[in-house]
Structure 1
Amino acid sequence: MLDINTNLSENERHQILWLDTTDKNSDTCKRQRCSLSSIVTYSSIEECEEYIRHNEHCRIALIVNDPVKTETITKLSELEPVTAIYFRTSENARDKSEASQLKKIWHVTTSLDIDNLIERIKNDEKKRTRASESLVFNIFQTDSSSPHEMTSTEINGEFLHSQLLLDSLLTMKASNNELSLAIAHCRTEYQNSPSDLSKVNEFQSNYSSEHALNWYTQDSFVYRILNRAFRSQNIDVLYLMRFIIRDIYKQLTEQQNEATMPNDKVYRAQLISKEELENFAKGNLVAMNSFFSTTLTRAYALFLLTSGQVEHQDLAYVLFEINISRRLTGAKPFADITTKSAFPVESEILFMAGSIFRIVDIQLENNDVCVVKLVLCGDDDHNLKTLFEHMREDIPPECTSIAYGIVLANASKLEQAERFFRNILNELPIDDPLITHCYHQLGNVLDDKGEFEESLDYFEKALAKKLETLNEDDPRLANTYTCCGVGYLRKNDLKRAIFSYQKALDIYKNAYGQDHEDVAMCLFNIGDVNIFENKFEDALDMFQQALNIWMKCLPESHPDLARSHMAIGNAHVQLLNGGQALMHYDTALKIMISSLPSDHHELAALHDKLGNLYYSTGDNEHAQEHFEQAFLIKRKHYPSDHSSMVDTYHAIGLIYRDSGDYQRAVELLEQAVAIHRNILPPEHESSIQLLQDLTGAKAALTLMMSEMA
């Protein structure tokens, strides 16, 4: 997303200047303060202009007193930092309609009440800022493109997991320390801002769930911290502020049921990057991942968009025109929040974060404003519903309170997921049954991070605690047996791995029959053991059995289907069936793109597989594309010396060697060797091969340098 705001503080960004050439009101003005900033006063036009020019990163609201000339107002309005001008005049000093036509004039008043004017400026600045803030959204495409044409718009996985994360926040049970933890964070965040700290104190003393919307609509830290967290997808802050997100959801639902909407169309003014606008043209659905504020008046939305905004060659003026229906089922709540707002004179329709809209049309109007027509969607209006519900049901009811961490882990947000589960473990009493589930989930996270020893330790702890309270044939034991089997397989302890998998398989078959998805998972895992045993035909049979069962009971875009296709592809590679392997890898890639975030660690593994397959056929161009995709994903999750980086460094190094770029090849192969030394002994087969490749690349580089000399 293109963030057009600077890193200045809120008070530095938003300033009010008062230009009063009569200098009658300067003493009064100096005493005025507002939460946007201190008012800066000038009686000299030249000094005022100089100040504006030297504060080019600020957003300045300018109060101008009559008798400043029209030419002067026009000149000041052309300065980029000036976003709005408020003209104070007497009844007879100047024709009000003439003044209101000047550029960037937001209000002409004859009132001398400065307090009311300051309140209006605060309210207007909030609206202008909202139009220029980055909009956080995910695009969903119903038609997948070729898996080899990977673009930034293929973000169906982000679309799905952002919905799951929000759902887990809303369904999480309230805890006694929610408010105190959020307050502590806010105190740290605003420790250098006395005005904000004062608001934090007021919030701590006076907040209640029925005032959530009032606090959100105030020009205060609540709006800023929530929207910044949504914009940056700061999942730690969103978790801390979950109570107010939940309360806003509740208030919107109540208000939607009680209040009536005067019409079925609303509008939103927005500056977005031209690249993002192109993504709208390619997508079918859009999910707004933050609270989405709209107005009932089209003309007012256009005024917000075109008045006082900074022109930028990479930005587009967009007017969202949204059709809504109160009869929709399953849509996120929306409501006219005027009566709940801190600014009740402002008519505002607020949509819950995560609201989904269908993209109907995009048109360019004569004023260079692009109109994006949207229709609010309910659950039955998009084909992710089945997959979403199934992935939500994957979280056991007894794990609702830790669902946020599970969704983070499934989205490959491994550091955040680990931190979440460790924090929960530190807070729980020693006899809390949730500890067992945290052990299990933490084991999953650590396994995905490649920390296999500690992962197995947590799986074994979880199994031991379950065995204390559950019968031996309880299905809740089977999942932990399966995870222990994964840990044993990582250690090459095939005997204990197959014992654990078979134990889980027997429990699941006894409880659910032959065609259950958990039975398929056990067959899949036994196939993994067959791969380790070099029994590739047996492995292929197990993977195919698992796929056949999953195809009966899972949505067509479920990640487990991708995993089975990937495993079948692996078996075909070992059996030298390259064409079959590529077909299954491509199918797996299409499913993963539609169901997993684009930086998911399993996508990196699949790109590595595709890279190796293409390299084996001599197609180095496609091989390099996939290896580099894998590298980009791994770099987000692992340090540069992580064991998972070895294969990628090695593979890309060989491609550079083959292309004659021996210098780059040596650099990459040396990185691979340095990491590999910490994993396997030098006499290991892979260590010997890697060292031979490095030696060969160095020899070729030396020869090339000598020939050049």
Structure 2
Amino acid sequence: MFGFFLQDLNQQLRQAHTDFISTRLHTNDLIVKTYRGQTMSRTEIELLYEDNIITDQRIVINSLFSTSYDRLVALHFLPEPEQLEEQLERVLFELKIDAHQQQTHSFSDVSQLSAIPDESEILFMTGTHFYIDAGSIKYDESEKVWIVKLKLAEDFHMKQDKDFIYSLNDDKKTLKNCIAILLDNIRHALPEELDKIFDGLLHMYPQNAKWISALKFHCLAKYYQYPDRMSYTEALRNYNKALSLWSECINDHNDRLNHAVDIGKLYKDLAWFYQYNMNDNQLADSHYNLSIELNQLAHASAATSANEHIDLLHRLSDIYENKMKLITSELNRKQDYGLLAINFKQEEIQARKNRNDFSDYDQIIISAGQIARLYKAINKYDEALFWYEKVLEIELREEPICYYSIDEIYKEIIQIYTDRQNPDDYQLVKKYKLMMHENLLKMNHVSSEFDYSDKDEKTEIIRGHL
């Protein structure tokens, strides 16, 4: 029952979020500040503080997150200092929300829907991401409260309904899309946790047991190939189990579920395993070829949706880039694979543009940077410079500016001009080094609000408050 409640709440909050953002954009009132008061354990806040001294942090809220426009209302929810239970601390979260951000979980002003409208409540959905900038956790001695400054963060792994729904009249395909996303989103789940998840799914959907079990074994295979829990035997055993089940699904002639997509993914992951875990380039190459064959089969299938089409282009580009890395001597073949990777990446960009969805914007920028990197890898420097300049132009227009990303682009451009060893490039190297220096000054200025050299002293001071 609770699941249905959350689903209904999410739908209502999503609609309210759309209206809320629309109003903010219309009035050009884009920055929203809200507050939340709560108690935290001393151990928890100390660890959070120490991690934050010199490092930005990203946190994910694992419950509904209620905040208020009114700072005093948020403070009202905190017990008085003398009433605190032992080992607890008063914490005030100060949230900054930019209405321009698009790839976020739902949030909205729910004051008119609340039983207590005077609380001026802004409610955030479970799973919302926030940043804590380095040095932004302080202890306010006068109010006896920790101040933790949060900034709403975009979640680029978040999926929209369109990513799952193949057809309003095809519940089975929609179900498969929803479950298949687990492959990339529970990679750190323990085997016993995966058992619980998939046992529950098998209990709910026994008629789909074959492909659900195949996904489970694929997830287990990926789990066992991570360095901190690597077991080559277990990884290969689970890959083979998954492959056997997917092959049975193909033989069932259920083309509507387009299982070629899933087998193509599996062969790609298995090839990656052979390439980077086993250092077996021959087996890696043969499995990449099998993946290409299956992905192209899925690409030609009428059952492939527009969203799957974009994923296929992305995957094919990635496969050819990895094949390119397998080659050490045959430079012509390496260049051919590089150009194929670039072509698929350009097709992906165009497909995302055609979809005309705001959530594709950041991925288009990332893909453009990947094209620049690929051209550089096959020594096509003019083309690489063209794409790096395009990405740089976009990054310089972004708000807020990501100085780190810009610094990396400058480094790549300077390296290209240096590697070409063209006397005419000397002035360009000087130009970009100067631009990189100016960017570095801006980056340091942003970070200078907190003096990292005082880390130990500040740690001791803060411990004095605990």
TM-score interval (norm. to shorter): 0.3 to 0.5
Instruction: Give me the TM-score of the superposition, normalised by structure 1.
Output: 0.33
Kindly indicate which of the two structures has a greater share of residues assigned to helix.
Answer: 2
Instruction: Give me the TM-score of the superposition, normalised by structure 2.
Output: 0.48
The structure with the largest alpha-carbon Rg is: 1
